[in-house]
Each structure stands twice: as structure tokens, then as C-alpha cells.
Amino acid sequence: MTKKLMIREKKLNPKEIVDLVFKKQDWGKTYTIYTCGSITVTCELTRYDFDVNAATFKISAEQIYKSKSYVSSETMMFYVVKDNDVSFQIRLIREVLKRFTGDSWSFDVTIIEGIAKTKSTKTKYDVWQVKEKEISDVGFQEEYDKIQTLSNEDVKESALNSLEHATVSIMNEPYFKELIKIKSLVAKELLDYQKLKTRLNDDLEKLGL
């Protein structure tokens, strides 16, 4: 019989952590709030704004995959007077889930996307790689020629910049299509994540969501 993987959880009381930090002056202490096999989720109080009585917590998730560590972090604000433990717990759970599958619009790539990028076989292009040849190859030669006739240099530069971004978006379509498929496969492969995800969604239901 396969032994079930246990999820260890430490209830996070943000007010308690704030009190402990000020009492013991242990800034930088990291609290482990979830562990599930190859996954560890931690929380650290990084800043306190006395003007608005708000604590800034750094939430980090680490996934060990094939002996390599993948970490994704984000910060959360907790207003000591206005917020309560339940609302904070709800936001915390959502943030933990985002560390795995959220959109990587920020500089911090989510864990599943980070793993998927190592498996990608397609090339991802940057806008600085776009020249007239690439613009012509995607079918924008006519637009490029019209831009070259503009007399206002600022308008010309802005229009060319927009055309280059449109070009690189088309060039990267194969990369992103493949990445979406790989991310789906990686998510299914990460059994610890699937277990933790189920648990966290169950917790959200218990909290009334």
C-alpha cells in the first residue's frame, strides 16, 4: 500500500507574528506554514509601516523538481487594525496557489511556468531582435515602408516601436502555444502540488468561499 503524503500546516496568526517581532526583535525570521513532500511554503515579516499600522509579509513557495529548487515569492499587506485572521488566511491561500499557476506578468515567474520554460523546444524572441527582415517575414512590410516615410521623428519612432512589438508577438506565438501545453503537463506531473492544491481549495470552502 502506498503511504499517503502528509500535509503539515502551521496556522498563521499575523498579529501574533507582529507582536513577536517587536518583542524579540527577530526581524527576518522565516515561518514555515505548509510542507507537502517536495513543497515548502514560508512567510516572513519584512516591513512594518507605523503610519498606517500595516505589516508587509513575504510569501514564498519552493518546489524541488528533479533535484532543482524553483522558488516564487510575493508580498502581502496586513492592516493590523482593519484586517482579521480569516480575511488574511483567504488571501494567503490564494497567493500560495498563484505562486504555482498565476500569470507571470511580474518579474517573478511562477513555479510551474519556471519548470515549463526549461522543457520548451521553441525559441522566445525579444523585441531587440526584430529587424526589417523579421517585420517583412510576418507580413508587415507595407506598414514598415509607410512608417519610413514619416517626417516627424518622434511619431516615426513610436510607430516603429509598436510595429516591432506586434512583430515579436507573432514570432512568439509558437513558443507560447507550446508553453501552455507544457505547463498543463507539468501541473499534472507535480503530485505534491495537486495534493496541496486540493487541500487549499478545501480550506477556502471551509472559510466560506
Domain count, the chain: 2
In a shared domain, residues 106 and 177: yes
In a shared domain, residues 110 and 191: yes
pLDDT tens digits in sequence order for the chain, 209 residues long: 334 455 666 667 777 777 777 776 667 788 888 999 999 999 888 888 888 888 899 999 999 999 999 999 999 888 887 878 788 888 888 999 999 986 544 556 789 999 999 999 999 999 999 999 999 999 999 999 999 999 999 999 999 999 999 999 999 999 999 999 999 999 999 999 999 999 899 988 888 76
pTM greater than 0.95 (yes/no)? no
In a shared domain, residues 61 and 143: no
Domain housing 30: 8-121+173-206
In a shared domain, residues 29 and 104: yes
In a shared domain, residues 133 and 185: no
Residue whose C-alpha cell reads 482579521 in the numeric block: 84
**Residue 50: inside a domain, yes or no?**
yes
The strands making up 30-36's β-sheet, listed across from edge to edge, are 8-9, 30-36, 39-49, 54-65, 68-79
Residue (of 80, 78, 43, 93) closest to 207 by Cα position: 93
Residue (of 122, 114, 116) closest to 174 by Cα position: 122
In a shared domain, residues 178 and 117: yes
In a shared domain, residues 161 and 112: no
Check if the beta carbon of residue 102 is closer than 8 Å to that of residue 31: no
In a shared domain, residues 84 and 166: no
Check if the beta carbon of residue 201 is closer than 8 Å to that of residue 94: no
Residue (of 71, 75, 72, 122) closest to 102 by Cα position: 72
In a shared domain, residues 80 and 149: no
Cα separation, 95 vs 1, whole angstroms: 34
**Residue 1: inside a domain, yes or no?**
no
In a shared domain, residues 14 and 98: yes
